[in-house]
Amino acid sequence: MSVIQFAQPRKALSSEFLDAIGVIFGDRLKLGEAVRSQHGQSESHYGEILPDAVVYAHSTEEVVALVKACNVHEVPIVAFGAGTSLEGNTLAVRGGISLDLSEMNQILEVNAEDLDCTVQAGVRREELNAWIRDQGLFFPIDPGANATIGGMASTRASGTNAVRYGTMREAILSLRVVTPDGREIRTARRARKSAAGYDLTRLLIGAEGTLGIITEVTLRLHGIPEMISSAVCSFETVGGAVDTVVQSIQLGIPLARVEILDDVQIKAVNRWSKLDYPELTTLFFEFHGSPAHVEEQIAMVREISGMNGGGAFKWSNLPEERSKLWKARHEAYYAAVNLRAGALGWATDVCVPISRLAECILETKQDLLSCSVPGTIVGHVGDGNFHVIFSIDPNSPEEMIEVEAFNKKLVARALAMDGTCTGEHGIGLGKQDALIDELGDAVGLMRQIKMALDPKDLFNPGKIFQL
């Protein structure tokens, strides 16, 4: 799929508009090609699309002023965080302004007694965890990339800890948002529950910046567990690995993390991260709790693994060994892409009810065996979510066509199992047709909401659906 088909006519920024925002941002208004190029690409397989200008905001008030100027001059505006999105979510298909929020990176408040904090949108998840560690707290949502909190909220991110701690939908208590008409609103207070009016917080989580620009986020935090233990187990079959996960969850074992890597992905990880795991389908586990509780969890999962053809169950409590394990998992995308030198990566994801997970993965694995493009399976199988990562020759249109067809078939399979076309990457540019297949007339209601809040279609236009 080419991004060109999404490109829409754009008009040049007027000198009047540039002068107006130049007064607000000074030398934080960038027109050079290098910085525009940096904001015109991401981790996705789409080609580069440059915005007309980049601005770096330092406060909500600056964002308000920029939005009002964009509204007057009808200039599109796309919020930008770390640039780690995988579905072209931040590409400026109609030009305009790329609003970089990465310098809005202050941790504003930590309420240790209430287990929550408020941060600006540009705070990175690793920075937040480093800041709160001394208070015995941690933020569990871990999509792999060191993404910004605002970007994670905008794409409803999840990740390796989702099986126990949920996704950004569960992690967010409140948002501070700038609306398309330049209003600044707060969607909720810090209370853990509320029945006060429409749930605007959940409406904006996952909206990919099409309904509002998130400038501050109030998050739930958790106490650091007394013990954390990681484990690795290899399996002769994909089915045995998936069945181990499903049976563990059905028995109520509180897995903190459980990731699947198929044999091809393990081969890539071994080469990329200089490890020596058996080149078989493998599960990475993590267990949280008291020492006695963790030992009980490990014993139960070891027994289940053995019943499903699992091999040696290797585990460790040492932080350095756990870090090495999860670093390898977090770099799985780069490992898979680099199965071929100079390759282009295309990562897709689906999510299905866990009772259909084994069937979905096994059928997908069969399709990979007959695919000419190298591809791997890796995923957060504890919540039914997995990814397929392809290593594509960028000079081969035939490979791009083959992978696009594979992706459509995978999505159709997930929807037939009452799953979703995307567990965590979002819709962006790439899955707009699939969203209609999944939700039907509900997409029409989404369009109505978009037009009510953003009648000029200036906030991240062309994403999620076409107007």
Q: What is the pLDDT of residue 47?
A: 84
The answer to whether the beta carbons of residues 102 and 148 sit under 8 Å apart is yes
Fold of 227-416: Vanillyl-alcohol Oxidase; Chain A, domain 3 (3.40.462)
What are the distances in angstroms from CA 201 to CA 162, 175, 176, 363? Answer: 19, 6, 9, 37
The answer to whether the beta carbons of residues 462 and 242 sit under 8 Å apart is no
Residues in the chain predicted with pLDDT less than 70, given as ranges, are 1-8
β-strand pairing of 97-100 with 53-56: parallel
- What is the per-residue pLDDT across 109-160, written as a single tens digit (0 to 9) for each? 999 999 999 999 999 999 999 999 999 999 999 987 889 999 999 999 988 8
| Segments of 72-197 assigned E as strands | 77-80, 97-100, 107-111, 116-120, 137-138, 172-178, 184-186
**Which residue is it, tokens 């990681």?**
230
- What is the per-residue pLDDT across 56-84, written as a single tens digit (0 to 9) for each? 999 999 999 999 999 999 999 999 999 88
Q: Which is nearest to 63 in space by CA: 52, 82, 53, 77?
A: 77
Residue 154, token pair as written in the block: 């905008």
Fold of 107-223: 3.30.465
Q: What is the pLDDT of residue 7?
A: 54
**Please, where in the chain does CATH 3.30.43.10 lie?**
3-103
Amino acid at 34: A
Q: What is the pLDDT of residue 213?
A: 98
> Can you list the alpha helix ranges (DSSP code H) found in 74-167?
125-132, 149-154, 162-165
What are the distances in angstroms from CA 286 to CA 199, 230, 330? Answer: 33, 4, 14
Domain 3-103 classification at class level: alpha beta
Q: What is the pLDDT of residue 2?
A: 43
**Which residue is it, tokens 């030009």?**
95
**Please, where in the chain does CATH 3.40.462.40 lie?**
227-416
The answer to whether the beta carbons of residues 378 and 431 sit under 8 Å apart is no
**Please, where in the chain does CATH 3.30.465.10 lie?**
107-223
